A and B are shown apart, each in its own frame.
Chain A
Amino acid sequence: MLLAGTVLGAAGYRLEHALWVRGPEAVRTAEGWRIAGREGRQFSGLALHGARLLWQSGPVIRMVDLDSGKIRLLGPGADARATWPPALGGRYAVWFETADPGRRGAEVIAYDTERGRRWRVARLGDVYSLAAVSGDVAVWCTADRDGEPRVAGLRIASGQPLEIAPEYGVPVVSGDLVVWGRGTTGPFTARELSSGHTRPVAAGDLGGELTAYALAGRDLAWGQLEGSGGRVAVVDVDTGATRLVALGVPGLVGPAFDGTTVVWVQAASGSRAGAATDTSAVMGRRLDGGATFEVATVEGSVTEVAVSGGTVAWLASVRGAPRVETKELPR
């Protein structure tokens, strides 16, 4: 009878997953992984760190282990109906969830990738930015009942709150350093969490609309639109020394930056700029020297890109079908 029950339980589990749980499928390619959605929802919120890659699909947050290809469901929780895109900064991932998308506020959810455990770490007022994570620190922009925006965060393991700046900004964090852009065109402000010292970042030639920015170590990489093209640059937050990485980039998406390599997406030659292009090129450049190189040519539009260590990942939409792809960078 025990055996019959065991068989019945296993059969029920298999049947449920075959008929009703249609998660994405990870397929190993010659250069990395290809994860195709089977739920009919677009992907967003790409977050990569080491061998772990997270993304959002509708309200669902998923993580794939790039060593094994195993895909895990991280959210939403049993009581939640909507999520915000996740951030991953080492051991911890953080995102926001709400049970009622029509009401203000959200829960801050943390996921410990080592223990496989998720929990609610805080409650937010209005969500003004997505979360950013580095190590044990998560940061975001929120507003309480008074409606005044503020850059804030917390230490994930202890839940200790961090008050960073009483102003609007979309923050990024790396170690002890938090940097935020105060608007769609900057400027950037930096704050050391340990000393509390706050100062402007002397990034040269800001002006065009920012496409994205990423902080790794003491370097901030950003992209901005300039006329028909885009520009990618990196600034040393301490000295203000700015290095131009790419100029006149058509249809710039990104950049992403891991401290060593800057990656971005551009319209492949002959196709029009932006997310509506038919073919996109994922490009990269190492900061320690060397020329710009092409990581991959991607059929369809690429909406997000991420880099960590020797791995580049991007979100693509091929004839409306969502896809995550990864590729190991050439050494």
Chain B
Amino acid sequence: MNLERLGVDRGWLLFFLLAGLWLLNIADLTLTRYAIWLGFATESNWVMDYFLRSGDAAALAFKVGIVTVGELLLWRLRAHRAVLFAAVLLTGLFAAVVTYQVLWVLSL
């Protein structure tokens, strides 16, 4: 798809996708932490489970930190077309995961 022909700036699109991904990452952590607090969920990712057991600050620092580093890397490589494709895929995937979590928490 030729974004320039549609009047869409590739840089701004990537920026908004990465910002959305960053916010969805926070939502994912918040919903996971809430579901664990409710007593209905356990963290199956053992790395994240370690940080969640270490405390909210540690979990937040790890999860936000690792996604921020990844996003900065994508931003540095923004000249490559594959970066935009990866950002679109990741944001869509995270949106699906967060939507599923919201519906699941609402069902409790």
Q: Which residues of A contact B (CB under 8 A)?
A: 1-6, 8-10, 12-13, 72-73, 77-79, 111, 116-119
Contact = CB atoms under 8 A, between A and B. Distances in A.
Contacts of B97: 9
Contact of B39 (A1, A2, A12, A118): A118
B72 to A, nearest CB: 20
Given A78-B41, A119-B39, 8 more contacts: A2-B92, A4-B92, A5-B91, A8-B92, A8-B95, A9-B103, A73-B40, A77-B39
Contact of B108 (A1, A2, A10, A116): A116
Nearest to B94: A5
B98 interface: yes
B88 interface: yes
Nearest to B39: A118
Contacts of B20: 2
A240 to B, nearest CB: 43
B18 to A, nearest CB: 12
Given A1-B17, A117-B38, A119-B39, A10 B92 contact: no
B100 interface: yes
B71 to A, nearest CB: 15
B99 interface: yes
A1 B42 contact: no
24 contacts: A1-B88, A1-B91, A1-B95, A2-B20, A2-B92, A5-B94, A5-B96, A5-B99, A6-B95, A6-B99, A9-B100, A9-B103, A10-B103, A72-B108, A73-B40, A73-B108, A77-B39, A78-B40, A78-B42, A111-B39, A116-B38, A118-B38, A118-B39, A119-B39
A6 B100 CA distance: 8
Contacts of A73: 40, 108
By Cβ-Cβ distance, the 8 closest A-B pairs, closest first, are A5-B95, A9-B99, A118-B39, A9-B96, A5-B92, A8-B96, A9-B100, A5-B96
A73 B104 CA distance: 11
B93 interface: yes
Contact of B99 (A10, A72, A79): A10
Nearest to B93: A5
A2 B103 contact: no
